[in-house]
Amino acid sequence: MSSETMPSLQCAVPFAESGSILLGHGSGGKLTARLIEDTIVPALSNPLLATLDDQVFVPIGSERVAFTTDSFVVTPIFFPGGDIGELAVNGTVNDLAMGGAVPRFLSLAFILEEGLPIAELERVLASVRRAADRAGVVVVTGDTKVVGRGSGDKIFVNTAGLGTPRAGVSMSARRIRPGDSILVSGTLGDHGMAILALREGLELEGDLVSDTAPLHGIVAAILDAFPDVHAMRDPTRGGIAATLVEIASRQRVGIEIEERAIPVKHAVRGACEIFGLDPMFVANEGKLVAFVPPEGEAAVLRAMRAHPLGRDAACIGRVTSSHGGTTLVRTAIGGQRALDLPFAEALPRIC
Amino acid sequence: MSSETMPSLQCAVPFAESGSILLGHGSGGKLTARLIEDTIVPALSNPLLATLDDQVFVPIGSERVAFTTDSFVVTPIFFPGGDIGELAVNGTVNDLAMGGAVPRFLSLAFILEEGLPIAELERVLASVRRAADRAGVVVVTGDTKVVGRGSGDKIFVNTAGLGTPRAGVSMSARRIRPGDSILVSGTLGDHGMAILALREGLELEGDLVSDTAPLHGIVAAILDAFPDVHAMRDPTRGGIAATLVEIASRQRVGIEIEERAIPVKHAVRGACEIFGLDPMFVANEGKLVAFVPPEGEAAVLRAMRAHPLGRDAACIGRVTSSHGGTTLVRTAIGGQRALDLPFAEALPRIC
């Protein structure tokens, strides 16, 4: 049963083809997937775009260059643990890193809303600079546009990134195979719940802080320990659920997840309970999920846990040859449910 | 007298440092230059960014890769002669071409406003595809975000582009020298007046049609004829005035322009008169200005005029060693005025 024909348990919104863009088209749920796969990719169809990995390798002369783009519309633009500037650098650095590329150069394009205090732009720029320095990338080209009040929202940022491939590394969702272990580099849901709690004015004991971080360092540590990782993804919009459902569906493999094995911070779990959310559906900005052949599992876990960004790394499940196209979650109380994307998810503008 | 200390004749808006982003920060006038030079570039300071050319060449392994980014917020998104999709492809293709690079790969990132008819997105996508095919580039990676009603305006598009350098060509504003001829590839002001007339509901005899076009072909023809062109620019936001004033000011050269020599379509001149605008300040999206040593002038003009996009090419002036930093315009009636950028220009969201 494919994810397209499987009844959704998460979402009671009746399906209606409105013919217009809905907020849900941007939330990493089913509508996002449909917009990309049914409207955008066919219109532009070409073999490189169709891989739908987070980055693409293009031939330039004798070199292969990793190339990616991401726009950031997070609201509010400043939040616990980061801001839109840091997110824009880390997000694109991570999209490059997920392909095993070494991030090198970024472009930076702003769409500013009239009335934005220049001091806020300066704060974002300082944050871009710090994040770029931390990630070892250089902002080499840029653009700035301004739109009138009510035609934008403070700051939108686009970063595109260039990177160089690591020798001997070939990661792509197409390499995922039954038997692969599914490893996450740390706790899930931190970024999304930090944003949501801030928006809703929720004050909780403990930390609700975005995990935004550049992942190229931990990726390098993993690949040094075990170069034959099949694929990596950073589970951003739609959380790890979106990543897993997409991979199961596109690669026609089964996925089995052990719910109890998923690392979630106490504060994040508490906030999820209050809002009725599952941490698997909540965005991360500093975590990766790796698909690793079984012989590499121990080495990759060790490498993750030895890195400051991977202390809470865990194996959360496995790729299977049965129930291809479907992600099954074994729940904490011993049941089993099929994971499906919500039609239109409840967390717009999370990144 | 530098453009910073020269009194502005074009703009009566009193200067006030409001501390907030104004529409004028995006219009290609003085505020744009200040925002970029005083706020953005210093915050990110690095030698590659500081060149402030339309594109940058970065080293990737043994290759040099041309890299550029541009966001497009034009309103309305459909206009006579083109739409935001075509503009987004041609704009980035042209930024690559202005450095003498052969455009190869594009990224494409949308920020969509809730409520946008999907049919309009499809129309823009089809236009992106046609423009990419025409320019010989491939859209290889992308991103889509959605914002709520009133937090965006229909469609914003970012394209970043990669290109390969042409052997034997080195173009940069830094190479502009006194004595260089200043050549334009055709009529000026077409794009800006097409947008403005549409917004204002002006109906004129004759054509008010955007000139949006990919310029890499005419650039190749020019460089085949004379490889040692010193610099090229596509005079978009702020028109050719912004390009000339910026170059005179940054490169500390003088520029002299013969107003009568500037090619302007009859309909554009008429519309400019109605709105009280000077075509030199109006955006172009399919024209280039080339700075050519005198021995190349005839060959470049011939090459331009032999190309379908350059039939109205003309020499409009010269770089001088006197009055460094200043652009002087000899007017049709024999007078002379110093060209200065308006503080905040009257044509927001023209591209």
Q: Do A60 and B104 touch (CB under 8 A)?
A: yes
Shortest Cα distance, chain B CAs vs residue A301, angstroms: 31
pLDDT at B7 over 60: no
Q: What is the pLDDT of residue A16?
A: 45
Q: Do B23 and A146 touch (CB under 8 A)?
A: yes
- Distance, in Å, from the CA atom of A183 to the CA atom of A218, rounded to the nearest integer, reads 13
Confidence tier at B207 by pLDDT (50, 70, 90): confident
Cβ-Cβ contacts under 8 Å for B281 (sequence gap 6 or more): B10, B238, B239, B241, B242, B342, B345
Which residues of chain B have a CB within 8 Å of the CB of A119? 19
Shortest Cα distance, chain B CAs vs residue A178, angstroms: 28
Average pLDDT across chain B, whole number: 91
Shortest Cα distance, chain B CAs vs residue A305, angstroms: 31
Shortest Cα distance, chain B CAs vs residue A242, angstroms: 15
Shortest Cα distance, chain A CAs vs residue B297, angstroms: 30
The pairing of strands B101-113 and B82-83 is unpaired
Read off the pLDDT of residues B27-47 as tens digits, 9 standing for 90 and up: 888 888 889 989 999 999 888
Closest-CA residue of A relative to B68 is A141
The helix or strand, by DSSP H or E, that contains position A202, with its residue range, turns out to be: none
Q: Which residue has the tokens 């043994």?
A: B62
Residue from A285, A314, A311, A286 nearest A298 by CA: A314
Q: Considering only the beta carbons, identify the residue of A19, A70, A117 that sits closest to B117.
A: A19
Q: What is the pLDDT of residue B39?
A: 92
Which residues of chain B have a CB within 8 Å of the CB of A115? 20-21
Decide: B284 and B191 in contact? Cβ < 8 Å.
yes
Strands (E), A283-323: 289-292, 314-320
Residue from B135, B162, B176, B165 nearest B290 by CA: B176
The letter for the amino acid at A344 is A
Average pLDDT across chain A, whole number: 91
The letter for the amino acid at B310 is G
- Distance, in Å, from the CA atom of A325 to the CA atom of B330, rounded to the nearest integer, reads 71
Read off the pLDDT of residues B61-106 as tens digits, 9 standing for 90 and up: 899 999 999 999 999 999 999 999 999 999 999 999 999 999 999 9
Residue A281 burial (C-beta neighbours within 10 Å; 0-12, 13-18, 19+): buried
Domain with CATH 3.90.650.10 in chain A: 173-339
- Distance, in Å, from the CA atom of A274 to the CA atom of A261, rounded to the nearest integer, reads 21
Domain with CATH 3.30.1330.10 in chain B: 54-165
Which residues of chain B have a CB within 8 Å of the CB of A151? 73, 75, 152-153, 349
Q: Which of A18, A32, A62, A69 to mutate to test the interface with B (most CBs of B within 10 A)?
A: A69
Q: Do A111 and B43 touch (CB under 8 A)?
A: no
Q: Do A125 and B25 touch (CB under 8 A)?
A: no
Q: Which residue has the tokens 């994971």?
A: A339
Q: What is the pLDDT of residue A345?
A: 63
Residue A177 burial (C-beta neighbours within 10 Å; 0-12, 13-18, 19+): middle
Stretch A18-34: mean pLDDT, rounded?
A: 87
Give the ipTM. 0.93
pLDDT at B1 over 80: no
Shortest Cα distance, chain A CAs vs residue B157, angstroms: 10
Q: Do B49 and A140 touch (CB under 8 A)?
A: yes
Report angle CA B245, A118, A106 to the nearest 5 degrees.
75
Q: What is the pLDDT of residue A15?
A: 42
A–B interface: beta-carbon pairs under 8 A: 277
Q: What is the pLDDT of residue A49?
A: 84
Read off the pLDDT of residues A249-305 as tens digits, 9 standing for 90 and up: 999 999 999 999 999 999 999 999 999 999 999 999 999 999 999 999 999 999 999
Decide: A261 and A336 in contact? Cβ < 8 Å.
no
Q: Does the domain spanning B173-339 belong to CATH 3.30.70.990?
A: no
Q: Which residue has the tokens 């865990």?
A: A314
Per-residue tokens: B241: 């005035």
Shortest Cα distance, chain A CAs vs residue B84, angstroms: 14
Strands (E), B148-215: 155-165, 181-184
Confidence tier at A1 by pLDDT (50, 70, 90): very low
Which residues of chain A have a CB within 8 Å of the CB of B104? 58, 60
| Phi-psi domain of B121 (left: phi exceeds 0; alpha: psi -120 through 50; beta: other) | alpha
Strands (E), chain B: 56-60, 63-72, 78-79, 82-83, 101-113, 138-147, 155-165, 181-184, 231-233, 254-258, 289-292, 314-320, 327-330, 336-339
Stretch B295-313: mean pLDDT, rounded?
A: 98
Q: Do B112 and A58 touch (CB under 8 A)?
A: no
Q: What is the pLDDT of residue B344?
A: 67
Which range has the worst mean pLDDT, A24-33, A140-149, A290-299, B110-119? A24-33
Stretch B321-325: mean pLDDT, rounded?
A: 93
Confidence tier at B203 by pLDDT (50, 70, 90): confident
Q: Do B109 and A158 touch (CB under 8 A)?
A: yes
Per-residue tokens: B70: 């541009």
Per-residue tokens: A108: 């930076």
- Distance, in Å, from the CA atom of B231 to the CA atom of A158, rounded to the nearest integer, reads 28
pLDDT at A83 over 90: yes
DSSP SS3 for B141: strand
Confidence tier at B15 by pLDDT (50, 70, 90): very low
Closest-CA residue of A relative to B111 is A71
Q: What is the pLDDT of residue A338?
A: 95
Q: What is the pLDDT of residue B302?
A: 98
Read off the DSSP letter of residue B35. I
Q: What is the pLDDT of residue A4?
A: 34
Break chain A down into helix, strand, coil percent, rounded to 5. 35, 25, 40
- Distance, in Å, from the CA atom of B272 to the CA atom of B262, rounded to the nearest integer, reads 14
Decide: B44 and A129 in contact? Cβ < 8 Å.
yes
Q: What is the pLDDT of residue B49?
A: 84
Confidence tier at A191 by pLDDT (50, 70, 90): very high
DSSP string, A79-109: ETTEEHHHHHHHHHHHHHHTTTEEEEEEEEE
Stretch A43-57: mean pLDDT, rounded?
A: 85
Q: Considering only the beta carbons, identify the residue of A113, A140, A153 that sits closest to B56.
A: A140
Shortest Cα distance, chain A CAs vs residue B288, angstroms: 19
Per-residue tokens: A36: 């990309």
Q: Considering only the beta carbons, identify the residue of A43, A61, A69 that sits closest to B143.
A: A69
Which residues of chain A have a CB within 8 Å of the CB of B119? 19
Q: Which of A51, A127, A129, A151 to mutate to test the interface with B (most CBs of B within 10 A)?
A: A151
Q: Do B44 and A146 touch (CB under 8 A)?
A: no
pLDDT at A26 over 90: no
Q: Considering only the beta carbons, identify the residue of A25, A116, A160 that sits closest to B21.
A: A116
- CB contact burial B142-154 (16+ within 10 A = b; e otherwise): bbbbbbbeebbbb
Q: Do B44 and A125 touch (CB under 8 A)?
A: yes
Shortest Cα distance, chain B CAs vs residue A17, angstroms: 10
Phi and psi at residue A279, to the nearest 5°: -55, -20
* Stated pTM of the model: 0.93
Which residues of chain B have a CB within 8 Å of the CB of A146? 21-27, 348
Q: Which of B31, B44, B112 to mutate to test the interface with A (most CBs of A within 10 A)?
A: B44
Which residues of chain A have a CB within 8 Å of the CB of B125? 39-40, 43-44
DSSP SS3 for A139: strand
The pairing of strands B327-330 and B254-258 is parallel
pLDDT at B10 over 70: no
Q: What is the pLDDT of residue A84?
A: 98
- CB contact burial B39-70 (16+ within 10 A = b; e otherwise): bbbebbeeebbebbbbbbbbebeebbbbbbbb
Q: Do B48 and A143 touch (CB under 8 A)?
A: no
Decide: B299 and B222 in contact? Cβ < 8 Å.
no
Read off the pLDDT of residues B112-138 as tens digits, 9 standing for 90 and up: 999 999 999 999 999 999 999 999 999
Shortest Cα distance, chain A CAs vs residue B247, angstroms: 18
- Distance, in Å, from the CA atom of A173 to the CA atom of A100, rounded to the nearest integer, reads 12
CATH of A54-165, one of 3.30.470.20, 3.30.1330.10, 3.40.190.290, 3.30.565.10: 3.30.1330.10
Which residues of chain B have a CB within 8 Å of the CB of A33? none
Phi and psi at residue B144, to the nearest 5°: -135, 125
